[in-house]
Amino acid sequence: MTDPEQAVARTDDRLAPDVDVLVVGAGITGIYQLYRALEAGFSAQLLEAGAGVGGTWYWNRYPGARFDSESYTYAYLFSKELFEEWEWREHFAGQPEIERYLNHVVDRFDLRRHMRFGAAVNSAVWDEPSATWSVVVDPDTVIRARFMVAATGNLSVPYYPDVPGRADFEGEQYHTGRWPVTPVDFAGKRVAVVGTGSSGVQVVPAIAEQVASLTVYQRTANWCTPLNNAPINPDEQARLRAEFEPICETLQTSASGFLHPVHDRATFDDSEEERRAFYERMWNSPGFSKLTSNYTDLLFDPAANAEWCEFIVERIRGIVEDPATAERLIPKDHRFGEKRPPFVIGYYEAFNRPNVTLVDLKETPIVRVTAGGIETTDGERPFDVLVWATGFDYGTGALTRMGIRGRNGEALEDHWADGPATFLGILSTGFPNLFFPGGPHAAAGNNPRYNGDQVDFIMDTLVHLRRHGYDSIEVEQAAEERWTNMIDRWAAKPPSFGRSSYFFGANIPGKPRRYLLNSGGRPKLLSMIAEVRDNDYRAFRLARTPDSTAATA
C-alpha cells in the first residue's frame, strides 16, 4: 500500500502507483468515494479545485441557495452515528448549513489530510505499461494513480451566454455557480438577474429587500411551486433519529431516492372537487413531492398535466398583483415536469415589490451588455451588479475539460464528440480504470442516492479486482453500447424532459443533443449492477499488467 502523504510529492517515473485511488472533486460524491476507498484499505487522495469542501455546495453560495430535497434525504446514510448526531435545522437546509455539514463529515472521519485544495486537474493520461493514470495537477506535480474517480459533478462548469459586450461591463458581475466566498454587498444597488432556472428563482427573493432595484431578465418562464420549508422541531428531530433504519430502507430502494409516498390514483379517478382538494394538498406539500407524489398520470396524460398547470396558473394570477407581469410569469411552451421544476420561497411574491421588475426577453431580447448596464431592444437599463443565473455545461462539461487521454491517447472529448457513451454512467470504453460517478447518464432522482449507488458499485468492483489480483478494468464496447442505446431509446419515450432542456445539452451552443441523464432511472441502474455481479463482471475486460504492482491493500 502506498502512503498517500507521499503521493503528491513524488514525480518520478517509476511504474508503481503513488496512490491506489485518486478522487477528483470534494462534493458529496467525492467525499463519500474517498471515505469508502480508505475504509476498504486502499490508499486514496482527493484533489479539489476549490479552496474548500462541498463541490456544487461550495461554489453555489449565492443568497438563497438551498436544498430542494429534504436535508436528511440528501445527507449521508453510511453512518448511523453521523445521522443521529447531526441535527439539520431546516427541512430544506440553506447553503451555509450544508457547507458546515460537509466540513463536519470530513473532519469527523479524518478525511481532510487526504485532500488537497486549489488542485485543479490539468491532464490525466492513461499509461498502458504501468496500468496507471498520470494526473497533472499543476505544472510540477504528477500523481500516478492506479484508479481515478472523477467525481466532478454534473453542474460544475458555469455557462455564461455569449452576449456581446459582457466583458465591457464596468460594475460587478457574478455567476451563481461561481459565487465568491466574500459576501456580495447588494445594499442600495441596482441589480440585474439574468436567468430564471432553479438558481435565478432562489436568488431573486433572497436579495429583493436589500437592493435599490432588481430587474429580472426571463427568457423562459418556469413552473415554480412552493418549497414549503420549515424548521425541524424537536419532535421531528427525535422521530428522524428513531426512524434511521426505515428511512434508509426507503431511500436506498425507492426509484426517486425520496421519502415521499407514491400516490395510487390517476387524475380522473377523482371528482373535480376531490382533484381541487388534492392540488391544494400538493401545493402545500414539501419540495419534489409535487412530482413524486402527484397523480400517477401527471407526466403521461396531457389532460391531467394541463389541469395541474391550470391550478398553478390560478395561483400565479392570485399572487402577482400586476396582471401583465403575472401573464409573463406563466409558462407557455412546456408542461409541468418537462423541465426540472424549481421550488421556491416567495418568488412570485417578490414581483409585488415596487423595486422588482420583470423583463421578458422573448418580447425584448438582449442586444448587448454595455459598460453601464444591459441593452434590450427597448433600450438600456443601468446596473451596478449583474448576476448571471444562466446555468451550466451539464453532465459532460467538467469531464471533457480535464485533458483525459485514454488508451492510444484518445481524448475523452473525442470519444464523446456525438454525446456521452457510458456504461452505467460510470465508465467508458477506451478509458480503463477511470470511473465518473455522478456524471453523464447518472442522474435519476435525488442526487446523493444514485451517486452513492454508483460509488458503492465502484468499491465492490475495486475490491473484486484486488481479490483476484487484477490491476486494470475496462468496459467492453458491447456493454457501453447497450447502456447508451438504452438511455437514448428511453429518453425518446414519454414522459421525457423536453428536448430544449439542458438535459439534452440544448443550452450550450454547438453541444450534441443527446440525453445526459439516466432515462432508465434508478431501478435500471440497480438491476444492471446486479446483473454485472451475477455475471461475474463479464461486462468488463479485467487484466493483470506484468510491469506494474497491483493495488496491494
Residues that bind ligand NAP (CB under 6 A): 66-68, 155, 161, 176, 194-200, 202, 217, 219-220, 340, 361, 366, 389-392, 502, 507
Q: How far is the CB of 52 from ligand NAP (least distance, A)?
A: 19
C-beta closer to ligand NAP: residue 98 or 479: 98
C-beta closer to ligand NAP: residue 36 or 66: 66
CA distance 109 to 354: 49
Q: Are 404 and 135 in contact (CB under 8 A)?
A: no
Q: How far is the CB of 85 from ligand NAP (least distance, A)?
A: 24
C-beta closer to ligand NAP: residue 116 or 219: 219
Q: How far is the CB of 364 from ligand NAP (least distance, A)?
A: 11
CA distance 96 to 101: 9
Q: How far is the CB of 526 from ligand NAP (least distance, A)?
A: 22
Q: How far is the CB of 223 from ligand NAP (least distance, A)?
A: 12
Of 146, 141, 129, give the one whose Cα is nearest residue 11: 141
Q: Which residue has the cell 478509458?
A: 431
Any alpha helices (H) in 175-271, and if so which ranges? 198-207, 234-242, 244-253
Could you report how far apart the first and last alpha carbons of the chain are, in Å?
5
Q: Are 326 and 316 in contact (CB under 8 A)?
A: yes
Residue nearest to ligand NAP (CB): 197
Q: How far is the CB of 437 from ligand NAP (least distance, A)?
A: 17
C-beta closer to ligand NAP: residue 356 or 389: 389
DSSP string, 525-537: HHHHHHHHHHTTT
Q: Are 349 and 205 in contact (CB under 8 A)?
A: yes
C-beta closer to ligand NAP: residue 2 or 199: 199
C-beta closer to ligand NAP: residue 91 or 340: 340
Q: Are 427 and 537 in contact (CB under 8 A)?
A: no
Of 290, 289, 258, 224, give the one whose Cα is nearest residue 64: 224
Cβ neighbour number for residue 306 with a 10 Å cutoff:
14
Q: How far is the CB of 553 from ligand NAP (least distance, A)?
A: 36
Q: Are 92 and 226 in contact (CB under 8 A)?
A: no
C-beta closer to ligand NAP: residue 142 or 366: 366
| Helical axes 234-242 vs 244-253, angle rounded to 10° | 70
CA distance 325 to 226: 19
CA distance 532 to 476: 12
Q: How far is the CB of 411 from ligand NAP (least distance, A)?
A: 26
CA distance 121 to 110: 23
For residue 66, give Cα distances in angstroms to 59, 157, 198, 201: 12, 19, 10, 11
C-beta closer to ligand NAP: residue 80 or 362: 362
Q: How far is the CB of 308 from ligand NAP (least distance, A)?
A: 19
Q: How far is the CB of 203 from ligand NAP (least distance, A)?
A: 9
C-beta closer to ligand NAP: residue 178 or 241: 178
C-beta closer to ligand NAP: residue 30 or 391: 391
